[in-house]
Structures are given as C-alpha cells and as structure tokens.
Amino acid sequence: MFKRIAGTKDVLPEEVVRWQKIEAIARNIFSLYNYQEIRPPLIEEALLFNRSLGQTSEIVQKQMFLIKREKEVYSLRPEGTASVVRAYIENNLDKTSGFMKLYYIGPMFRAERPQKGRLRQFHHIGCEAIGSSDADLDAEIISLADNLLKGFSVDSYKIKINSLGCPEDKKALTQNLQKSLTGKLARLCADCHTRFKNNPLRILDCKNEKCLEVIRKLEIKDAYLCPECKAHFNKVKEGLDSLKINYEITPHLVRGLDYYNRTVFEVSHPDLGAQDALGAGGRYDSLAKQLGGPDVGAVGFALGIERLFLVSSVKCQVSSKNLVYIISLGEEARRQNLKLLDNLRKNGITSDTDYEGKSLKGAMRKANDLGARYVLIIGEDELKKNVVTLKDMVSGEQKEAKSEDLIKELRC
C-alpha cells in the first residue's frame, strides 16, 4: 500500500471547508488593500532561488527539491517572492503597470525534517508590493499582516520588527557581529561555525538552544544604520504607531534569506513551540535589479497556512447544501432518473443518487447520512402516474408531486 510522503498532508473534504474559509477571508482582505492575485508556476529554474535567497541560505544549501532533466536543474518553489519578482520582470509589469500589489495562495516545498508545524509541502498566503521604497508601504504591509491574522481569529501573536539597513549597513552589522562573537565560537554549533565564515548574520537566526544562549547575550544596537536607513525605520515605526499596531523592536531579527534589506519582520505565536513563526517578511529593494529587472523597491510577507490552523479559532459551519437525493426502484426508473438529475442540476438544484445498488432502506440511510433535505422516490407506480414521491427529510412529511411541478416544489 502506498503512503503519502512524510511531511505532506491529505486535506480531506471536511478539512477543505476550513481551508476555503481562510482563503476567502484572505482574498477579501487583500482586495480591501487593492492587491491582485498572481499564480506563478510551482516549478522554476533552481538558479532563480540560488540567486535570490543566497547560496549560503539554509533553503538553498539543504532544502530545495531539485529535479534534473538533461542539462536543466529545476526546483519545486521553496517560497513565492523570487517567482513573483521573476514574473514581474518577465511579463514587463514594471513597464505596463509600474507599482503593483500582488498576492498568492499556494503550496511551497522544502526538504526539511518534518515535525509539528514543519512540513515538506506547506502553504503560503503571501503578498508582494513591487515598485516602491516608501516607508509607509512597509507600515501598510505590516498592518495588512496584522489584519489578516485578526480576520483569521488569531490572537496572542507578537509582531517583531527590525531594520537591516542598506547593503553597507549590513556589512557593518556583520563586522560588528564577527567582533562580538570572537572568543565565543566554541559555544556555537557546527553549522554556526560555517556561518561565521560564510555569512555571520545567519548565526542570529540559529534555533540551536546553545547558540541562542550566546545570541541573547549579544549587545546589538542600531548604530550600524546609516542616516537614510535610520530615517526610513523611524518612518515605519511612526506609521505603525499611528495605526496602533503592537510591535516589538528585535535587534536580533535578521531573517535567513539574502534578499532582505531595511525593514524585516516576523510574527510569532507562543502556542507553536519550537517552530514559532506564523509568518514573516520584509523589504527586498535590490532583488528585481539583481534578477535582471528594473531598480525598484519592494516589500512583502508570507504566512504559513498550516501554522495558522494550529492557532486560529476560525469557526466553520458546513453550509447546508439542500441536497435532493433520488432513489430509483427498478431499471426503467433508473433510466428516467438520469434525465431528472440532469434537469435538477441545470435548474441549480444540488442533487445526487445511489450508485452502489442499495436497497430502498439502505438508500434512505445514505440520504440521511448525506444530510439530504429531500428524497425523491421513483418506482413503477410513480412512472405510470407521472409523479414522484417527495419526502421532506426535516418534517418527515411525504407526498406525491407531479413531475412537471417538481422544480417549483423543490424551490419553495
């Protein structure tokens, strides 16, 4: 017997209702902020992610699902930002539309060791606003994330923000960090030793408890920010204050992807345990240019849907479908009912019948299990009289209805 791959999930019909609800809430809120949906492919040239996320990022180093075909190497997308920016450039959206607000909902793939809240196929609700460096947009995007979470009935989450500054500031921060970590290397994990050589900022993102002990004690101030980046960050904070958004300035927050600069943020939730990030995002002002496109600022974020489900109290009522269930007694009735079903559906009435050869009793039980509103029973007698037996499953009432009046009866 085949089993699903570890770290993937079957979303069964009763759970799909919840997914649809979350997606509908997201679409509605995105449209209030004037975002349009984009659906890039799930597979891209692997190089796109190497360039965007950085060769030394955890995702590129260890987590991409690669597919080799002849000389090409493709990757299942581990995240959406790089694909959206690629699509923005490739489709000349900078020339036709300029500034664009785009959102996406869909699966992402990372070859991680599965555990609670960490899957190999998971889903993002994400957005990217491309074509502006305005700090007010950073505030708007953080407020959008906040409103989405409120819309999903999530509470007790924390929004942590930081500014990485421009590439020069990032360099200054890196040197600063290297200096403060010298002499403490022995207390860091093996991965952090490599990070110290290749990309020391990543050490701040390490989840190893021993490393966290060292990191927590590091004094990181925002002195590395140049005046422009400091002014940008101040404007973001002012915007958030005016929108009355609760946030915490977290100097240790660096994010594990190379494309970020200036504002970065993360939303965490205490009930998630080790994998406590519900979502994250930030600015990535040089990515479009780096991928061969225009020199435009951009900012975005993504929320992990599976993690949202772990903390959201969004209620879902399965909507009553007003199902009409047809039971045919005999071959001739069965033949006629195929046409009747077709007619009901063409008139917008949800209907179904038994395809398992059940007895009358068995079919009635099935109709009950399905929550049918009405049952239509048609046998030889009914065919002769050109009527159907109509049973109201709520009142239990049963009567004969003329075939030509049936649609009207069912609509009442």
Q: Which residues bind ligand HAM (CB under 6 A)?
A: 79-81, 110, 112, 117-119, 122, 124, 126, 128, 277-282, 300-302, 304, 306-307
- Our CB check for ligand HAM shows the closer of 22 and 333 to be 22
Contact between 130 and 88 (Cβ < 8 Å): yes
CB of 257 to ligand HAM, least distance (A): 6
Distance in angstroms (rounded) separating the CA atoms of residues 122 and 305: 7
Q: Which two tokens stand for residue 85?
A: 């920016």
- Our CB check for ligand HAM shows the closer of 245 and 272 to be 272
CB of 79 to ligand HAM, least distance (A): 3
Nearest to 163 by CA among 295, 297, 265: 265
CA distances from 163 to 1, 126, 207, 272, 392 (A): 51, 20, 20, 25, 64
CB of 36 to ligand HAM, least distance (A): 16
Q: How many CB atoms lie within 10 A of CB 367?
A: 26
CA distances from 49 to 56, 57, 214, 271, 379 (A): 11, 10, 31, 31, 63
Chain centroid, CA 231 distance in Å: 32
- Our CB check for ligand HAM shows the closer of 44 and 79 to be 79
Please list, residue by residue across 260-285, b when 16 or more beta carbons sit within 10 angstroms of its beta carbon and e when fewer do. Answer: bbbbbbbbbbeebeebbebbbbbbbb
CB of 360 to ligand HAM, least distance (A): 48
Q: In terms of DSSP bridges, do strands 100-109 and 36-37 run parallel, antiparallel, or are they unpaired?
A: parallel
CB of 284 to ligand HAM, least distance (A): 6
CB of 142 to ligand HAM, least distance (A): 12
Q: Which two tokens stand for residue 322?
A: 């007003």
Sign of CA dihedral 32, 34, 36, 42: negative
DSSP per position, 213-228? HHHHH----GGGS-HH
- Our CB check for ligand HAM shows the closer of 255 and 373 to be 255
CB of 278 to ligand HAM, least distance (A): 5
- Our CB check for ligand HAM shows the closer of 102 and 341 to be 102
- Our CB check for ligand HAM shows the closer of 262 and 391 to be 262
- Our CB check for ligand HAM shows the closer of 126 and 165 to be 126
- Reduce the DSSP state of residue 320 to 3 states and report it: coil
Residues 6+ apart with CB under 8 A from 310: 116, 117, 269, 271, 272
- Our CB check for ligand HAM shows the closer of 307 and 391 to be 307
Nearest to 65 by CA among 115, 112, 9: 112
CB-nearest residue to ligand HAM:
304
CB of 101 to ligand HAM, least distance (A): 12
